Structure 1
Amino acid sequence: MSTRRKILIALLVIVLALGLALFFLTRGNTAALSVDEVTGTDPTLAEPQGEAVPTVRIAEPVGWEDGELPTAADGLVVNRFAEGLDHPRVLHRLPNGDVLVTLTRAPKSEDGGGITGWIADLLMGWAGATGDSANELVLLRDADGDGTAEVKQVLTDALDSPSGIAWREGTLYIANHDALLAFPYELGTMELTGEPRKLMDLAPGGGHWMRNIELSPDGTRIYVAVGSVSNIGEQGMEVEEGRAMIWEYNLETNSQRPFAVGLRNPNGLDWNPMSGELWTTVNERDMLGSDLVPDYLTNVPVGAQYGWPWVYWKDNFDDRVDAPMPNFLTEYTRRPEYAMGPHVAALGLVFSAEGNRMGPAFGRGAFIARHGSWNRKPPSGYDVVYVPFDERGNPLGKPIPVLTDFLKDNGDTRGRPTWVEWGGDGSLLVTDDTAGIVWRVQAPDAEPAPAIARFESESLRPRTELRGDPRASFSEDFARENNPLGN
């Protein structure tokens, strides 16, 4: 091929890319509701506005200036705990105070995803989400207690788009995009040296590739969040096998089972200290307009069904879905507990905990990182918020800002809050993936928070108390009538 022809093809590609950019950016649905109206326990759900082409409003990441910081809520201060990291995402604090973080991006698609994949890569590239994954697990240590991690040690770079991290009794669990692994690891060690054991295969990659994990309080089970390939099952439900759910892996029997299903893209996982339940954050579907559908925070009892892709918020049908809906689905679909807002991309989740130093105003609730929208006009998210809970473990009111000003007035973004975790000193740590920073938030003069009491309720008394032989309460005729086989 001649040089002239190559230049013409390159120019054509550039013109096509610019044309697509202009097409997407000048179209789309503008929100009629504020984000606040679509949050809380009783959100306003707008009429769906089906879109053949998604609304696109991407905030270009421009980074933070030297010395520039997010704005912390009154009574809180923020500083840079660690920086210069290559797309940090999931955090996990070890019992000795060391903090682990995965440096990761999406795995490469084997087929490139065709034209749809190319467009998606183009859009996500503008948002700072593409590129090669570092595939690293990094240890951060603040040995001198000054609030900054002077130690940044790569434990391994032999992972595959890693996300979730957990540790217990000499075993480090890591979720790659396609497998749950277990490594031997002793606290304080500065590298991973042993070969991992594969505990279970996970559905690989897909549109939602992160795989978060959470150990049960007794350490016998591990929960794995796996998102869907698609928006609403448009590629067929066969490709969604093993996805859009939370798995439970039994470490004692080496077996697994679906724990909760119908969750389009579950991410954050943590145990509610008031109720003892597992809770998660979920990213809901797109292309129903800028006001729908709100991402949510909810509990996930065993066997829970949240309706994806056929319904959202229990009984709102998505008419775009072609796959046959299971019989009586809405009879057992659960309504989410709390709306986080439309398209906010709610990711990291951590509940208030004993020893945290955020002050009494943040003593009983959940902290959530809202990564920020790419498909809402105006943008939503780009912050860390706190959701208050009552003593019974139920969410209340509206989200309270904890860390803001990631989004600039001109629509660019300095960074994108991604994950939250407690530091060893009781501060709240926040990853900012596009900026490569881990932020540290605390109330400077706060005492360590006391333990949060588990709510205990009395059992309800039966409405009717049977005494003696229960069969004596019914006549022989009644028994015969209701047992036609006579046995």
Structure 2
Amino acid sequence: MRLIIAGLSIVVALVLIFFTLLIIEGPVPVLVNNSGTAGFISLPTGFKAEIFADNVPGARSLATGDQGTIFVGTRDEGMVYALKDTNGDGYSDEQWTIAEGLFMPNGVAFRNGSLYVAEVDRILRYDDIEDRRDNPPEPVTVFSDLPLETSHGWKFIRFGPDGMLYIPVGMPCNICNTTESIYGTIARINPDWTGFEIYATGIRNTVGFDWDPETGDLWFTDNGRDWLGDDLPPDELNRAPEPGMDFGFPYYYGDNIENPEYAGEDNPAGSTPPVVELPAHVAPLGMRFYTGSMFPEEYNNTIFIAEHGSWNRETPIGYQIVTVRQGDENPEAVSFATGFLDSSGEVKGRPVDVEVLPDGSMLVSDDYAGKIYRISYDETG
């Protein structure tokens, strides 16, 4: 009996210590074991997909900190997570909640030790975040002059090679014309939060962009409108090497084809057609140029695009990762990672973003399954 009482006393003491530390130090990292394959994902020979993190509800945009922390935004969940592979085995073994209760915090970016999070109407900054994962600081609101409209209002953000933060603002509709010039754009702002300007216009809704590491040109995905049938209009991969370019929406889609709502009107001229027309409704989101050294040489500087997949097409389409060799004379999208939609039509996952890690492997977020996968290559495997 004494041994039982003593044992219970120890348990109670440990529980009290745990909660005392929680109050004093803030959130304790969740220890996880994500080791395992993602066998439903089909890849080219030599590649494999494994589960990097298995409990990340609504995982969407990805960003990597200087110390290797992976930051993950969400949308409807209102959460921002941090993940860490502490022993270098290719799997996240610690996980933190950095923020909760935010307004569609889809976009995350990292710069000079700080995490930037995009809500619908403002940009937040969490300073010294990699040294404060256990006790995240209160965020600083660094920019708040963004619309409150939630239709296409969640944002993907990234710092460009010019040091400016690029912020898209989607159209607040399926198709419409608005007198507010901020809608349907990619904007940018200096890191001291001065000089806000619109970089590109005529964009329905981009949720992913990156810069060619060789030329510095901005490339971005764009989601086409709905309700023109299963096969129109194309989704897009666009290139914007300089400010001031117009990509046609809402007047045009594809290669300057008039939308029916604006046919025959005196529409603006000179819009830029997409570099690659993707199939209608594949919903291209995050994209990255491959800058690692793990994958075969043929993938150097190749664009990887996460196709989230259709929601209103009679036969579902997308649900995969595709590649585009942007140096080709006639670049086209080629399937790379499939199986998120199986042959029976069952959805296994919906890819959202891709992120190239320092070791050359690639992460893929999946907001449907609440997971993050790691794709690696071994020519002997």
| Percent of paired sites with the same residue | 31
Partner of 2:23: none
Partner residue of 1:282? Answer: 222
What's the secondary structure of 2:298's corresponding residue?
helix
Return closer, same or farther for 1:372/1:361 CA change in 2, 3 Å cut-off: same
Question: How many aligned positions are there?
Answer: 343
The reply on whether 1:189 has 2:132 as its aligned counterpart is yes
Q: From the superposition, tell whether residues 412 and 251 of structure 1 become closer, same or farther in structure 2 (CA, over 3 Å).
A: same
Tell me if structure 2 keeps the 8 A contact 1:206–1:230: no
1:359 CA displacement: 1.9
Q: Are the equivalent residues in 2 in contact too, given 1:86–1:104 (CA < 8 A)? A: no
**Retained in 2: the 8 A contact 1:371–1:382?**
yes
Structure 1 residues 321 and 296: CA distance shift in structure 2, 3 A: same
- Structure 1 residues 103, 315: CA separation in 2 closer, same or farther (over 3 Å shift)? closer
Q: Structure 1 residue aligned with 2:239, among 292, 299, 305? A: 299
Structure 2 unmatched ranges of 5 or more? 1-35
Does the alignment pair 1:237 with 2:173? no
Does the Cα contact within 8 Å between 1:155 and 1:192 map onto a contact in 2? yes
In 2, the alpha carbon distance for the partners of 1:263 and 1:212 equals 14
* Other-structure match for 2:96: 153
Match of residue 339, structure 1, among 277, 283, 304: 277
TM-score, normalised to structure 2, is 0.84
Identify which of 220, 224, 228 aligns with 2:167. 224
For residues 189 and 255 of structure 1, the distance between their equivalents in structure 2, rounded to whole angstroms, comes to 30
Residue 316 of structure 1: aligned partner: 257
1:369-419: CA deviation from partner (whole Å, max 9, x where unpaired) = 0000112232210000111122xxx67443222210111222220111111
Q: Which residue is 1:11 aligned to? A: none
The 1:260–1:435 alpha-carbon spacing in structure 2 relative to 1, beyond 3 Å, is same
2:352 alignment partner AA? T
Partner of 1:437: 371
Aligned CA distance change for structure 1 residues 320 and 197 (closer, same or farther; 3 Å): same
Structure 1: which 5+ residue stretches go unaligned?
1-64, 106-132, 447-487
1:367 has 2:286 as partner: no
Kindly name which structure, 1 or 2, has the bigger radius of gyration based on alpha carbons. 1
Q: d(CA) in 2 for partners of 1:84 and 1:139?
A: 12
Measured after TM superposition, the shift of residue 251 of structure 1 is 2.4
Counterparts in 2 of 1:261 and 1:67: CA distance versus 1, 3 Å: closer
Cα distance in 1 for partners of 2:324, 2:139 equals 40
Match for residue 100 of structure 1? 71
Q: Select which of 202, 206, 223 maps to 1:262.
A: 202
SS of the residue 1:412 aligns to: coil
- Aligned twin of 1:427: 361
1:175 aligns with: 118
- How far apart are the structure 2 equivalents of 1:67 and 1:338? 29
Distance 1:395 1:251, change over 3 A: farther
1:55-100 Cα distance to aligned partner (Å, 9 max, x none): xxxxxxxxxx996431122221110000122111011111221110
C-alpha distance in 2 between matches for 1:84 and 1:339: 34
TM-score under structure 1 length normalisation: 0.66
Instruction: State the one-letter code of the partner of 2:109.
Output: A
**Structure 1 equivalent of residue 212 of structure 2:** 272
Cα distance in 2 for partners of 1:180, 1:94 equals: 18
On the 8 A contact 1:177/1:204 being kept in 2, the answer is: yes
Instruction: Give the 3-state SS of the residue equivalent to 2:316 in structure 1.
Output: coil
- Preserved CA contact (<8 Å) 1:76 1:441: yes
Output the aligned Cα RMSD: 2.3
Question: Could you tell me how far 1:156 is from its partner in structure 2?
Answer: 1.7
